[in-house]
Chain A
Amino acid sequence: MSFVELKGVCKRYKVGEVVISAADHMEFSIEKGELAIILGPSGSGKTTVLNLLGGMDTADEGVISVDGSDVAKYDRKQLISYRRSEIGFVFQFYNLIPNLTAKENVELAAQTCSDFIPAPEILEQVGLKDRLDNFPSQLSGGEQQRVAIARALAKKPKLLLCDEPTGALDYNTGKLILKLLQDTCRKSGMTVILVTHNSAIAPMADRVIHLKNSRVSSIDINPSPTPVEEIEW
């Protein structure tokens, strides 16, 4: 069984009288240690998939298996624990607590679990050794996203979910962040799932899942992913 496996997952929203299907019998799987990219245009259901995988939302139908457990069957409490200990999340807009220093932002996440990587150490890993005591407003966008990644990694999650991590960054910085993610995946063998609408970065992934109209349209497996440095867009 794959590390992450979705089977017949459906998610519908009811808006007034209209029922909108955000996920329509989605099925795919991701192996442990893979860097997977979920690719699709706006409204294709990629955020829904991310929400479901991240335990922020519950599926109406289907099985969402993560490391052997069916997340779709979790109750509220279990979902919190799941997010707390198994998931690392990187947002498009970083979502750092502006009032805390880089180190403190990482500690905020780290304090929620018992087994964590100390903040200075993980910040050093993301290359922010000298910015420990800076507040987010004193950091550039890329640096902020690095703090966000450090915050996600500090918890030693099983799964790192990234929502358009480069969406708010310029080209070069974006590239650096993607590289950091790819390196993290390679070096620590962490399963990373990246959601984006930018098909240009698809070659860097081990697996690319194409979404269209709330369905999986195709899945490409890339035996030799291109290093980020070589990708241009």
Chain B
Amino acid sequence: MKSALRKNAVKEIFKTKSRFLSIFCIVAIGVAFFAGVKVASPDMKRSADSYFKNENLAHFRLVSTMGFSDNDIAALEAEEGLTVYAGYFTDVLIDSDENETTARIMSLSDYEKSNEVNILTITEGRFPAAADECIVDNGGFTGGRSIGDRIKLISGTEEDLSDTLAVDEYTVVGTFSSPMYIDKTSRGSTTVGNGTLNSVIYVPEENFKTEVYTEIYITVDRLKGENAYNDSYDDIQEAVADRLEQIADVREEERLEEIVSDANDEIDDAQKELDDAKADADKELSDAEKELADAKAEIEDGEKELADGKQQLADSLVQLQDSRKELDDGWAAYNDGVKELQTQTENAKAEIEEQRKALDEAEKEYNDGYSAYQQGLSAYNDGKAQYDEALAQWEQGSAYYGLLAEFYGGDMTALYALAAAAGIELLQPDQSGALPPEAQAFISSLPSEEETAAMTAQLEASKAQLDETEQTLAASKEQLDSTEAQLEAAKSQIDDGRAMLEQGERTLEQSAADGEKALAESLEQLEDGERQYSEGVSAYEEAEAELDEAEQTLADGKKEYEDGLKEYEEAKADADKEIADAEAEIEDARQELADLEPPEWYVFDRSGNPGYSEYGQNAERINNIASVFPVFFILVAALVCLTTMTRMVEEQRSQIGTLKALGYTNGQVIYKYMFYALFATIAGALAGAVVGQKLFPIVIIKAYGMIYTIPDVIVPTDWLLTSVCTAVAAAAAAAAVYLCCKSELSECPAQLMRPKAPKAGKKIFLDRLPVWRKVSFNGKVTARNLFRYKRRMFMTVVGIAGCTALTLTGFGLKDSIGDIVEKQFTQLNFYDGILAFDSDEEKIGGVLEEYGAQSTVYYQKSMTVSSGGKTVSAYLVVPRDTADFAGYYLFRDRKTHEVYPLTSEGVLLDEKTSLLLGLERDGEIGLYEDETDVKNVTAKAFIENYPSHYIYMTEELYVKLFGEVPEYNMMAFKGDLDTDEKRDELAAELLDTGSVLTVSYKNSLMNTMNNILTALNSVVAVLIVSAGALAFVVLYNLTNINITERIREIATLKVMGFYDTEVDGYIFRENLLLTLMGIAAGLFGGTFLAMFIIQTAEIDLVMFGREIKVSSYLLSAAMTLLFSIVVALYMHRRLKKIDMIEALKSVE
């Protein structure tokens, strides 16, 4: 090819990047989705298969009603190509305060290397290293236990657990995942407890005491090369299963013979043992009897002794009481004495005090008298002194005047005396007798004679007065002396009184002391008495206690004796019974042996493992989705893509003409478009296939990883698929380009170089309607344009419709899945919980009533339903009270909501069962547990029900069919149970009755189901996202084409001065209309597509809803609309940038 052409081709890609990318993206998304969803199913299987192979998952599991002997194993090992692993398992209950849980205990043959088959992976912790260590299942089936917890196992059957297991308490040391248990929601069923296996526990193999192996795992060499879930695998598996059945048939008979001979030996041994035991028992019993008699005699002696002791004790009590009384009297006397003494002493003291007071008074009186006397005395003495003085004066006077008188009488001597008296010495008269002068002067100084006479008279009068005074004084002196004497007498009287008083006091003290001493003595005596008494009391009490003790001992002895007696009697009865039982047992054993049937072997392939088949079915389901959904998807992609290519070729009409005119061959002209289309398509397809094959399977496997433990995610790129996808995409593109170019190239260059005659505008039918006039101008333009470009309109509508339909299908799937839990538990089932019980219905009812819950009783059993060669496993439910039952379960038609009554004319079936069986109303179905005993019954109506399958039947009908009243074993209850605490409490109490096997609440059922459905929801999310992505690219591409095609028109409008919004409106009005039409068509078509895909994707056990919510319609429409708005916003910028000068260019 010429390099200019190549350059042109490459340049074209760069020039039209958005178109190129559109094609690339659409192809990539389409192919990615197609290839991705297509390989999701094989990848799911592949991933599981890889896990199974890595962990050497057994191909078969064998169990037998009698276990497997070494001979059995040898017989299997003899078979070519089989590897046989024998082991043990037993189903038990885990002891717990709360819900009773069941567990399968499995043997771990070599806990260092785990097992050789069904290899366990330790997810946490380690393998057991001691006999009492175990590992538990990690997938939510640990019974709430974690590493370090202790688990106590109890037997779930009548047999003793210790017969099977040496150790019944284990410490959890690790958790494991096992290829046998990939289902995260179920561990299968069991024969103990509520029938559902709650956990799987591995313990060291040595702990199993069972003589024979209880299970055998087999791997088949031929199957090792096959992939699980493949048809060839199934074929070989079937062949091997047949062969195993043959071996089983042979071994079953042989085993019986072995057992019978062994058992006979055993029975004989047992008989011998029994006889020995009988003899032993007899001897033991007689010994015991003797011992009992001895004990009885001893007890009687003791009783007598006790009576004596009691008498003594009574006597001493009387004595004690007497002495007590004496003591009390003594105490009273003593107290009287004390009181008397006190009284006496006080009286005496009072008397003394009185006397003392009288004495004090007398003394005071005396003292008063004495002081009066003293006063009188001193007055007297004063008077005496006055008198004496007066007397002396008088005497002096008298002497003086006497001398005077004598003088005057002429006695000259007197004169001299006077002078001497006056101290004057006078000279003696001279011989003459004349008197000296001095004497004369002296004489003149002397009183005259008359005065002397007067004085002499006055002196005589004073003398009389003085004498009188002398007399008075003498009298008072006398009186004073008498008073003194009186006072003396009083004084002595007082002194005497004092002495007497003192004497009295002394006497009193003496007598008081004497009294006290006497009292002290008697107190001492009393206290002695008291001491003695209390000693007596304690002695008495001791004796009493001793006696009580003796009595107790005696009573104990007696009781012991009675117990012994009872024990003896019981033992005797037991021994008798035991012996009788043993005899009966031996007899039974002999009988049983005679009746013994051969064991039965059960051969399970991997579908016996919980989740194994369901996983395969899920993979199939994805495959089902993959067969429809992506095809539709890729069709939409292809349509859009091809249209884009066609557009491109048409647009380049003149260039094609030019090239042709330049002499290039048709091939060379086509080259460019081929190159462009193939490059975009192949690159897109390759990228899409490679990415899709990783992305989608991983997302889907991870989604299923919520339900299934599949650790390996193997998503190889399927190069064949990749090449096929790429080749098909390329071929389709090439064909489109070729066809397109061919029609162009058939024209001559000249014509080509001229613009293609514009498609004629013409009147549309709307023009003829009267309404047309009323349509706005813009409306007219839009309508005309829509009808003018019919192909584009069709393509756009189909493209958008496709994407909307795909989105709606996604949402529809989500609705139909997401809704069923809600519908089932709020619209159809009204109970809060259900319980399974085996007896004591009233008691359970009582417990429920305590919690304010009502209940209804029914019978439930798993049965097989058949019709027209198809079978479904379903639960047969027989309510005891049909009317009451209606308060818990609603039987209605899914579509019409017509409520169906449960009558004895026939049964009500869930709709899904009817669909699986292809039943019509009033059709006949077969109902059986055992294929040989089929009961035929009419299916009256089909009721709305989502999970599981149920057949409802009246008691009357049941009795008619099975000839007996069903053993009611289930109860549904409802009430005010809105908190977890309340529910747990009720469940615990229900299980405590011992009659309730399981209690399940609506809430937990809802949660479990929601978990499972979440996985599918994720897959649905993938669909929605993919559809959304496609929708976006398609819309973008279509709008892009629209604009490119009309660029000249748009430029013209712009030259004419149309505003941006007017230009936008001119283009987008159309787009919006097309989008709306597409959405409408998509919602319509999507409803059918969704229904188709929902039914394809449904699993047998669960019916999905058949309703697409209004919100889903709205959401799908809104999503598409949103995309078109986003695209419009983006395109607005492009429109704005369109160069008006385009309008001036000639048409290319």
Contacts of B1052 in A (CB 8 A): 91, 95, 97
- Once A47-B1144, A107-B777 are accepted as A-B contacts, the answer to whether A99 and B761 lie under 8 Å apart by CB is yes
A99 touches B1057 (CB 8 A): no
* The stretch of B103-111, B264-272, B752-760 that contacts the partner chain: B752-760
User: B784 an interface residue at 8 Å Cβ cutoff?
Assistant: yes
Contacts of A83 in B (CB 8 A): 1055-1057
User: A44 an interface residue at 8 Å Cβ cutoff?
Assistant: no
Partner of B758, one of A85, A98, A101: A98
Contacts of A31 in B (CB 8 A): none
* The stretch of A133-141, A172-180, A203-211 that contacts the partner chain: A133-141
User: A20 an interface residue at 8 Å Cβ cutoff?
Assistant: no
Question: In the docked arrangement, what's the CA distance between A92 and B1142, Å?
Answer: 12
User: A73 an interface residue at 8 Å Cβ cutoff?
Assistant: no
Partner of B759, one of A84, A98, A108, A151: A98
B1105-1142 contacts to A, CB under 8 A, are: 1140-1141
Contacts of A91 in B (CB 8 A): 1052, 1143-1144
Question: Quick one: CB contact mask for B756-795 with A, threshold 8 Å, 1 for yes?
Answer: 0111111000000000000001001100110010000000
Partner of B1141, one of A57, A92, A111: A57
User: B538 an interface residue at 8 Å Cβ cutoff?
Assistant: no
B1056 touches A137 (CB 8 A): no
User: B1059 an interface residue at 8 Å Cβ cutoff?
Assistant: yes
Q: How far is the CB of A165 from chain B (nearest CB, A)?
A: 12
Question: In the docked arrangement, what's the CA distance between A81 and B1062, Å?
Answer: 13
User: B38 an interface residue at 8 Å Cβ cutoff?
Assistant: no
B1147 touches A93 (CB 8 A): yes
B784 touches A100 (CB 8 A): yes
Contacts of B1056 in A (CB 8 A): 83-84, 89, 108-109, 112, 151
Nearest A residue to B1048, CB-CB: A95
Contacts of A61 in B (CB 8 A): none
B761 touches A56 (CB 8 A): no
User: B1092 an interface residue at 8 Å Cβ cutoff?
Assistant: no
Question: Quick one: CB contact mask for A160-177 with B, threshold 8 Å, 1 for yes?
Answer: 000100000000000000
A100 touches B758 (CB 8 A): no
Nearest B residue to A77, CB-CB: B1059
Q: How far is the CB of A13 from chain B (nearest CB, A)?
A: 11
Q: Which size class do B's interface residues fall under?
A: 20 to 34
User: A87 an interface residue at 8 Å Cβ cutoff?
Assistant: yes
User: A54 an interface residue at 8 Å Cβ cutoff?
Assistant: yes
Question: In the docked arrangement, what's the CA distance between A135 and B763, Å?
Answer: 9
Q: How far is the CB of A10 from chain B (nearest CB, A)?
A: 18
Question: In the docked arrangement, what's the CA distance between A56 and B709, Å?
Answer: 68
Q: How far is the CB of B1070 from chain A (nearest CB, A)?
A: 11
User: A80 an interface residue at 8 Å Cβ cutoff?
Assistant: yes
A108 touches B781 (CB 8 A): yes
Q: How far is the CB of B167 from chain A (nearest CB, A)?
A: 89
Contacts of B1059 in A (CB 8 A): 80, 84
A99-132 contacts to B, CB under 8 A, are: 99-101, 104, 107-109, 111-112
User: B967 an interface residue at 8 Å Cβ cutoff?
Assistant: no
B760 touches A81 (CB 8 A): no
Contacts of A47 in B (CB 8 A): 1144
User: B719 an interface residue at 8 Å Cβ cutoff?
Assistant: no
Nearest A residue to B1136, CB-CB: A76
Contacts of B1147 in A (CB 8 A): 93
User: A213 an interface residue at 8 Å Cβ cutoff?
Assistant: no
Q: How far is the CB of B1060 from chain A (nearest CB, A)?
A: 8
User: B1049 an interface residue at 8 Å Cβ cutoff?
Assistant: yes
Q: How far is the CB of B1067 from chain A (nearest CB, A)?
A: 13
Question: In the docked arrangement, what's the CA distance between A57 and B1054, Å?
Answer: 12
Contacts of B1058 in A (CB 8 A): 80, 84, 112
User: B1146 an interface residue at 8 Å Cβ cutoff?
Assistant: yes
User: A21 an interface residue at 8 Å Cβ cutoff?
Assistant: no
User: A29 an interface residue at 8 Å Cβ cutoff?
Assistant: no
B1055 touches A136 (CB 8 A): no
A99 touches B788 (CB 8 A): yes
A85 touches B780 (CB 8 A): no
Contacts of A80 in B (CB 8 A): 1057-1059
Q: How far is the CB of A157 from chain B (nearest CB, A)?
A: 10
Q: How far is the CB of B774 from chain A (nearest CB, A)?
A: 15
B1141 touches A138 (CB 8 A): no
User: A198 an interface residue at 8 Å Cβ cutoff?
Assistant: no
Partner of A135, one of B761, B777, B785: B761
Q: Which size class do A's interface residues fall under?
A: 20 to 34
Question: In the docked arrangement, what's the CA distance between A136 and B1140, Å?
Answer: 21
- Once A137-B757, A137-B760 are accepted as A-B contacts, the answer to whether A56 and B1141 lie under 8 Å apart by CB is yes
Question: In the docked arrangement, what's the CA distance between A128 and B1005, Å?
Answer: 81
Question: Quick one: CB contact mask for A53-64 with B, threshold 8 Å, 1 for yes?
Answer: 010110000000
Contacts of A98 in B (CB 8 A): 758-761, 788
B334-375 contacts to A, CB under 8 A, are: none
Question: In the docked arrangement, what's the CA distance between A84 and B1057, Å?
Answer: 4
Nearest A residue to B757, CB-CB: A137
Contacts of B785 in A (CB 8 A): 99
Nearest B residue to A137, CB-CB: B760
- Once A92-B1144, A93-B1147 are accepted as A-B contacts, the answer to whether A101 and B1057 lie under 8 Å apart by CB is no
Question: In the docked arrangement, what's the CA distance between A108 and B1055, Å?
Answer: 13
Nearest B residue to A50, CB-CB: B1144
B1057 touches A81 (CB 8 A): yes
Nearest A residue to B784, CB-CB: A99
- Once A91-B1143, A108-B777, A111-B777 are accepted as A-B contacts, the answer to whether A100 and B761 lie under 8 Å apart by CB is yes
Contacts of A135 in B (CB 8 A): 760-762
Interface centre among B761, B781, B1140 (most CB of A within 10 A): B761
Q: How far is the CB of A166 from chain B (nearest CB, A)?
A: 14
A56 touches B760 (CB 8 A): no
Question: Quick one: CB contact mask for B1039-1057 with A, threshold 8 Å, 1 for yes?
Answer: 0000000001100100111
Q: How far is the CB of B322 from chain A (nearest CB, A)?
A: 137
B760 touches A138 (CB 8 A): yes
Contacts of B1062 in A (CB 8 A): 112
Q: How far is the CB of B689 from chain A (nearest CB, A)?
A: 40
B1143 touches A95 (CB 8 A): yes
Contacts of B760 in A (CB 8 A): 98, 135, 137-138
Question: In the docked arrangement, what's the CA distance between A230 and B1048, Å?
Answer: 36
B777 touches A54 (CB 8 A): no
- Once A56-B1055, A56-B1141, A87-B1057 are accepted as A-B contacts, the answer to whether A136 and B781 lie under 8 Å apart by CB is no
Question: In the docked arrangement, what's the CA distance between A162 and B788, Å?
Answer: 29
B1055 touches A54 (CB 8 A): yes
Contacts of B788 in A (CB 8 A): 98-99
Contacts of B1055 in A (CB 8 A): 54, 56, 83, 89, 95
Contacts of A163 in B (CB 8 A): 1144
Contacts of B1049 in A (CB 8 A): 95, 97
Question: In the docked arrangement, what's the CA distance between A107 and B784, Å?
Answer: 15
Question: In the docked arrangement, what's the CA distance between A92 and B1141, Å?
Answer: 12
Question: In the docked arrangement, what's the CA distance between A135 and B759, Å?
Answer: 10
Contacts of A151 in B (CB 8 A): 1056
Nearest B residue to A110, CB-CB: B777
A56 touches B781 (CB 8 A): no
* 22 pairs of residues in contact across A and B, judged by CB atoms under 8 Å: A56-B1141, A84-B1056, A84-B1058, A87-B1057, A91-B1052, A93-B1146, A93-B1147, A95-B1048, A95-B1143, A97-B781, A97-B1049, A97-B1052, A98-B761, A98-B788, A100-B781, A100-B784, A104-B780, A107-B777, A108-B777, A135-B760, A137-B758, A138-B760
Additional 5 contacts, C-beta under 8 A, given A91-B1052, A99-B761, A112-B1058: A80-B1058, A83-B1057, A99-B788, A135-B762, A151-B1056
| B interface residues with partner A (beta carbon < 8 Å) | 757-762, 777, 780-781, 784-785, 788, 1048-1049, 1052, 1055-1059, 1062, 1140-1141, 1143-1144, 1146-1147
| A interface residues with partner B (beta carbon < 8 Å) | 47, 51, 54, 56-57, 80-85, 87, 89, 91-93, 95, 97-101, 104, 107-109, 111-112, 135-138, 151, 163
List 8 A-B pairs, minimum CB-CB distance, nearest first: A84-B1057, A135-B761, A83-B1057, A137-B760, A95-B1052, A99-B761, A98-B758, A56-B1140
